[in-house]
Structure 1
Amino acid sequence: MLPQIKLQSQTGNATITEHGSQVQSWQTADGQEQLYVSPRAVMDGQAAIRGGVPLCFPQFNMRVLGTKPLPKHGFARNMPWALVSQDEQSVRMELASNEATLAIWPHAFRAGLDVRLEQNSLRVSFDVVNSGQEVFSFALALHTYFHVNDIHDTSLNGLEGCAYWDAVKDPHQPLARSKDTAALRFGTETDRVYANAPRELRLQDGARVRRITHSESLPDTVVWNPGQSLCAQLKDMPAQGWRQMLCVEAACIEQPVHLSANQRWQGWQQIELMA
């Protein structure tokens, strides 16, 4: 079992692992689990954990920002973070550049993750300070895996008319753009990056509705579900796991952040159970 921090209050419960500073569970006051973690997720303190809210930093997927690619989705989700403070409803974790990070990304930084529970809501905030002497660039995604009862009875509202890159249809053309005119529904593989997405979305999962908002500093939204075929190829997912999850991620990908020496950047995503 990986070291965990637990938040327990009248507003709900949450579990965060020190490995990756990753939210693994969030139960609202009614006892409903709102996040998905694969029952086959690897919990060895080395591999990325499939589910919850992984941190993709300082690289998203394999989009190279420096002279060489980093591990997929960067390294933050695979590193041990330090617990800085905790109370009933919130926790702060931190990760600073060290020998392991500098070996693959030659920049000094100090990153923090704040997780806070309110009545039927969860806010995950990430901040980073450039503690070096030179500008560095980074991308970020709060890779939130939502638990859904049935992906076929799930819709995402708010992205109608927004331009997106479809990584399934146009995998080798990242500048290609498509648009939808209706709420997004699911059933096959979905992998999209919406640039300059609206700051409020509604995830309809049967009778359950969740409001998803994000900071202006995270202008992009990633929507991902592996679908049946790809899910069957993922060793850390059950064959039918794709039917119980949907990733909706607040991100800054299309325009990476350029952070000068001693500057601080911050972004957040908030989820609120509406019904």
Structure 2
Amino acid sequence: MSDLQARPEVFQNQPCLRLHHANGDAVLVALHGAHVLSWTSGGVERLYLSPEAVFDGATAIRGGVPVCFPQFNMRGPLPKHGFARTSAWTASGSGEDWLELQLHSSPATLALWPHAFSATLRIDLAPGALELGFTVQNTGAQPLDFALALHTYLRVQDLPGLDLRGLAGQPYWDDVAQTDRLETDVVIFEGEVDRVYQAAAEPLTLVDGPVQLRIDQSPELAETVVWNPGPTKCAAIADMPFDGFKHMVCVEAAHVNTPVTLAAGAEWTGWQRLIVVTPD
């Protein structure tokens, strides 16, 4: 990794890379799972990483931005959320404000999912902004189907006062109530929230008291997943503190309701962009 401009670092005994922007913003990424662990902007941590997260190089890390690929949740025969978040990725390049990591099919992945592929996670850092781009190449001779979610855990200060704007009018699957619904207003976080929305055409805004975060995603990602476990479910999650639900909300750029079908030799890219909104 001598040609990388990102700085190697060890965090919780795991090899990582830290990317610094000239303005002081920074991002920390673990090679295990290509997992973004931290994004600081304006001296403030913007992502939630569970203090109970497991860092053993095999277990999925709770918090940050897990990459759910090629399966979402338990919607298929693979381990929950697929294997990308528990695989060893390789840093393939970086510059002053970007970093790329790659994962290729291997005997281990082929034993679970019989498709040849190459996946790239690109991280772009700008003042007050973080963009995550995910590219899949089908390197095999047959079409392949996959799902993807960039499972972004956002750190919040005031869950009771939190709302997510921009999804009014969008249909969604409510996994708690096990029914289809239509969003009529802002998303309020009371109790467990677990929803798969049809993505809105315009960016969303997460309002956390005086703090606002603009959340955008590419048209290739057809859904937005919104999740907070609430107090009861959070207490049953081994790698979350009992009050962890008060400090996080997941707003995920996803394509999970129907699979992406990728022809042999074809390539697909989707992205999520987070921008800190500075008060006037």
TM-superposition CA deviations, 1:64-115 (whole Å, max 9, x none): 2xxxx10000000000000111223111000000011001100000000000
Any unmatched runs of 5+ in structure 1?
171-175
The one-letter amino acid paired with 1:228 is P
What SS class does the counterpart of residue 100 from structure 1 fall into? Answer: helix
The one-letter amino acid paired with 1:33 is E
1:26 paired to 2:29: no
Any unmatched runs of 5+ in structure 2?
1-12
CA RMSD in angstroms, aligned pairs only: 0.9
**Structure 1: distance between partners of 2:152 and 2:125:** 16
Match of 1:220 in 2: 223
1:203 paired to 2:206: yes
Q: CA deviation at 1:150?
A: 2.0
Q: CA deviation at 1:197?
A: 2.9
Q: TM-score, normalised by structure 2?
A: 0.93
What SS class does the counterpart of residue 3 from structure 1 fall into? Answer: strand
What SS class does the counterpart of residue 101 from structure 1 fall into? Answer: helix
Q: Within 5 Å, give how 1:21-170 maps onto structure 2.
A: 21-28=34-41, 30-64=42-76, 69-170=77-178
The correspondence for 2:243, drawn from 240, 245, 248, is: 240
The one-letter amino acid paired with 1:14 is V
Q: CA deviation at 1:265?
A: 0.3
**Structure 2: distance between partners of 1:201 and 1:84:** 31
The one-letter amino acid paired with 2:131 is R
The answer (yes or no) to whether the contact 1:51–1:145 under 8 Å persists in 2 is yes
Q: CA deviation at 1:151?
A: 1.1
What SS class does the counterpart of residue 231 from structure 1 fall into? Answer: helix
**Structure 2: distance between partners of 1:9 and 1:136:** 37
What SS class does the counterpart of residue 103 from structure 1 fall into? Answer: helix
The answer (yes or no) to whether the contact 1:211–1:271 under 8 Å persists in 2 is yes
Q: TM-score, normalised by structure 1?
A: 0.95
The one-letter amino acid paired with 2:78 is L
TM-superposition CA deviations, 1:12-50 (whole Å, max 9, x none): 10000000001100001x201100000000010000000
The correspondence for 2:272, drawn from 257, 269, 272, is: 269
**Structure 2: distance between partners of 1:22 and 1:126:** 12
Q: CA deviation at 1:196?
A: 3.7
Q: Percent identity?
A: 46
**Structure 2: distance between partners of 1:54 and 1:10:** 26
Match of 1:4 in 2: 16
Q: CA deviation at 1:273?
A: 0.1
The one-letter amino acid paired with 1:110 is S
**Structure 1: distance between partners of 2:190 and 2:94:** 40
Q: CA deviation at 1:8?
A: 1.1
The answer (yes or no) to whether the contact 1:159–1:198 under 8 Å persists in 2 is no
The correspondence for 1:15, drawn from 11, 14, 28, is: 28
Match of 1:230 in 2: 233
